[in-house]
Amino acid sequence: MRPHEKLDVWKRAVDFVVVVYKATEMFPKEEKFGLTSQIRRAAVSIPANIAEGAARSSAKEFIYFLSNAQGSASELATEMLIAQRLGYLTEDYYSRLSTALDDISRMVSGLSQHLKRKNG
């Protein structure tokens, strides 16, 4: 088992990617290379950065990749809001996605804080 596969935050983020892919299947076809692509890329980037950081040899490097994951989460939150305002996501669907993304962001932040405390 790889180091990231033990992390609940990575598991939740991977599950979230699947939900995001399903949500964006409903987007207009003309958005395939626009907002759909951007949202999916940002979503995938979250667990990908967690995995890459967990594989690094130092806590400092791991924290750096967790910061990248947080950046992707912020980007994704903005893109989801735009999708909702354009009518591609219902208010209810947007709210559920936002809540799940907020939970993942908190978990990433908590892991980062833990690593900072542990490694001075």
What is the sign, positive or negative, of the torsion defined by CA atoms of 31, 36, 39, 44? Answer: negative
Q: Would the pTM of this model clear 0.85, i.e. be above it?
A: yes
How many independent structural domains does the chain possess? 1
Contact 75, 101 (CB under 8 A): no
Q: pLDDT at residue 1 above 90?
A: no
Asked whether residue 25 is domain-assigned, the answer is: no
Other residues' Cβ atoms within 10 Å of the Cβ of residue 1? 5
Range of the domain at 49: 8-17+30-118
In a domain, 47, yes or no: yes
**Does 3 map to a domain?**
no
Kindly report, residue by residue over 32-69, the tens digit of the pLDDT.
889 999 999 999 999 999 999 999 989 999 999 999 99
Identify whether 22 is part of a domain. no
CATH number at residue 108: 1.20.1440.60
Neighbours of 103 (CB within 10 A): 13
Instruction: Let me know if residue 1 belongs to a domain.
Output: no
55 contacts 2 by C-beta, under 8 angstroms: yes
